[in-house]
Amino acid sequence: MVESPAQVLGQGVGWAVVVGLGFAFAAFMLCITFLQNRFTDHSTKSIEEFNSASRSVKPGLVAAGIVSAWTWAATLLQSSTVTFQYGVSGAYWYAAGAMVQILLCSIMACKIKSSAPFCSTYLEVIRIRYGKMIHAVFIFFALVTNLLVSSQLVLGGAAVVTQLTGLHVLASLFLIPTSVAVYTVTGGLRATFIADYSHTIGLFVVILYFFFHVWTGHGQIGSLDTMVEKLTASAMARPVVGNAGGSYLTMRSKSGLVFGITNICGNLATVFCDQSYHQRSIASLPTTAARGFLLGGSCWFPIPFLFATTMGLAARALMHTDPSMAVLTDEQVTAGLAAPSAAVALAGKGGAVAVLILLFLAVTSATSAQQIAVSSVFAFDVYKVYVKRDADAKHMQYITHGTVIVWALVMAVFGVIWHYAGISLGWLYLMMGIIVAPAVFPIFASLTWHKTNRVGCVVGMIVGLALGILVWLVTAYTYYGSVTVATTGEQYSTLAGNLVSICTSTIITLVWSLVRPQNYTFAETRAFNAPVDALYEPDHTMPSIDHSPTTMSICSKPEVECTGYDLEKPKAVVMHFRDPGKDNIEYVRAAGLDPAVITSTARRVIAISIIASTCLILVVPAIAQAARIWTPAGLGAWIWLGFVWLMWSIFGVGILPLWEARAELSVLFVNIGKHIRGKA
């Protein structure tokens, strides 16, 4: 572990946060789960509730879950690092390069709801479409993605705790995933959503604290003019190679652009291959899945943008000019020490505590999402397919719970491996796309495009992976003279590997599918896992129908008229089987969706995603480069735009979920009140 200049807190604080705060929050979530099971209609004893929250989550809470799951240690540490290194372009390219994926995920959310309304994982769609052999290849990329993301979470979280408190890194690596597993294994996905919401509120509070301290306070910086003055002096002493005038106050940054391209490739892989994001579309209400992703993406952007612009620039402005700011080595910067060191310089122990809590909340919420995602993949795509096909609901619940606990241990073990191998958070973040980006387009095409060819997908993924790794290593040797951890983590090495991995796979899959289209109708995936009575409906033309909820069907053959009998009354209820329609389209209606509405929604979402992505990647950077080097007025406009956007985020994922849940919360409190009065 890099010796930390930011260690201003004692080990007792580290134990208090990791053990005290971690398990206190776990106890709080256990109480929430108890109240849910006791006083609401949703019980975590149901496998459907545990893995998909009964598919009833509203868009505000889905958005909060996306924001929380997408806010890693890297979101705060790596974004601040690249801002410290390249200036304002680093924060922007991190935020924009990682928001595009969430917008594109809204397209897949629409398609999953219309093509497989009853599935539990996106991998189930691929298995039904392509068969087991190809399904296994996709599982490999999915689990490798979860492994790399999980490793980054615990590695980044443990590093910050150790750097600020001196707590031994092994204690942090094992205790962080363990405390999260406690409430995840009992509360399931809905508990994860509630944890996400509470964690996100905490993130906003800490970000606002540092924002006002840096830009409007009376400390070492306190104003735009002071920040620009200090950054100008820093650029004169240590100019940024490739930036206009060597300045930190310009979007004309060659290194920032290179990082932005690498960031887009890696994060495409992370979102598209990770079940935790698809799980949020599966868990959402059928009619609002895409809305949750669009809202979540727009609300996530200002978190890395505003935090990194504030803390990354503050670290750069104070270093070498303020004795309270540690002088960081390149190794310490790569380890993610820029933001914690700036916090200590700005606010002393209070700043260290704030960053410690901020990182802990980010890590634990994303860790919970990873544990649920892996448990779903293992239960539904590995165990029930390749181990025990006839596993009942109770058996599956044991498997999902057990997988959460096992994955917590796996996260810790791989965190230890990376730590003692000398692998940093920044290195893992930049190389991740080389390994898993080959699966990006095959997954997207398999879920959204009827022509996708299964052989083209597999060939594209395997060739893309092999060529990506080869080009990565060759570039490191050619440009930097050797193949080491340091050279393979350099900008051009990771850029070349990421681009080759994702582009090779995309080209092969696309061309192969156009030459030999599969023309899949998604009929099988729509009917997969549908309730037995999904297409049964009462005949309302019969005069003697009783609509009692205790009526049950005694017929299992869809081609005949079915008669049910009321368990309490002698009246018969006539049930009819509805024609599934062309390509089983009626199963979409059975899931609560109108096929025509979801088709129009998909078109609208595609248009919004393309326009927004184009603006983020092309239009805004082009406008921001109009001024070669920014003045205090230009920086002020940039900063306060981020602040206004953060206010939108606070509304979208802070206030909206409470408003949407007002009826459910009212029922919960009424039931609790009745229970208390009954005992009294």
Single residue among 565, 588, 611 that ends a domain in this structure: 588
Compare 427 and 17 and report the one with higher pLDDT: 427
Whether residues 144 and 193 share a domain: the answer is yes
Whether residues 432 and 569 share a domain: the answer is no
Residue 102, H or E segment:
helix 88-115
Whether residues 221 and 283 share a domain: the answer is yes
**In terms of DSSP bridges, do strands 572-577 and 562-565 run parallel, antiparallel, or are they unpaired?**
antiparallel
Distance CA 131, CA 454 (A): 9
Distance CA 371, CA 280 (A): 14
Asked if residue 190 has pLDDT above 80, the reply is no
Query: Is residue 483, in this structure, part of any structural domain at all?
Result: no
Q: Each residue of 368-379: pLDDT tens digit?
A: 778 888 888 898
Query: Is residue 473, in this structure, part of any structural domain at all?
Result: no
Per the structure, the complete domain to which residue 177 belongs is given by 11-449+594-679
Query: Is residue 470, in this structure, part of any structural domain at all?
Result: no
Q: What is the pLDDT of residue 668?
A: 65
Q: What is the pLDDT of residue 285?
A: 61
Query: Is residue 463, in this structure, part of any structural domain at all?
Result: no
pLDDT above 90 coverage of the chain, percent? 20
Max mean pLDDT among 460-474, 580-594, 663-677 falls in 460-474
Whether residues 569 and 657 share a domain: the answer is no
Quick one: how far is CA 259 from the chain centroid?
20
Single residue among 555, 588, 621 that ends a domain in this structure: 588
Single residue among 549, 570, 588 that ends a domain in this structure: 588
φ, ψ (nearest 5 deg) of residue 59: -60, -35
What's the number of domains the chain is made of? Answer: 2
Whether residues 265 and 121 share a domain: the answer is yes
Query: Is residue 378, in this structure, part of any structural domain at all?
Result: yes
Whether residues 576 and 432 share a domain: the answer is no
Q: Quote the pTM value.
A: 0.81
Asked if residue 556 has pLDDT above 50, the reply is no
Whether residues 636 and 576 share a domain: the answer is no
Whether residues 302 and 441 share a domain: the answer is yes
3-class DSSP assignment, residue 491: helix
Asked if residue 282 has pLDDT above 90, the reply is no
Whether residues 258 and 318 share a domain: the answer is yes
Whether residues 600 and 578 share a domain: the answer is no
Task: Quote the tokens at residue 507.
Answer: 């080209």
Q: Each residue of 329-343: pLDDT tens digit?
A: 887 787 778 888 888
Query: Is residue 619, in this structure, part of any structural domain at all?
Result: yes
Span 339-368, mean pLDDT? 82
Q: What is the pLDDT of residue 505?
A: 95
Whether residues 246 and 131 share a domain: the answer is yes
CATH of the domain at 360: 1.20.1740
Whether residues 569 and 600 share a domain: the answer is no
Distance CA 442, CA 299 (A): 28
Query: Is residue 480, in this structure, part of any structural domain at all?
Result: no
Span 568-577, mean pLDDT? 51
Span 303-314, mean pLDDT? 92
Query: Is residue 39, in this structure, part of any structural domain at all?
Result: yes
Q: Each residue of 116-172: pLDDT tens digit?
A: 888 888 899 999 999 899 999 999 999 999 998 888 888 877 877 887 788 888 888
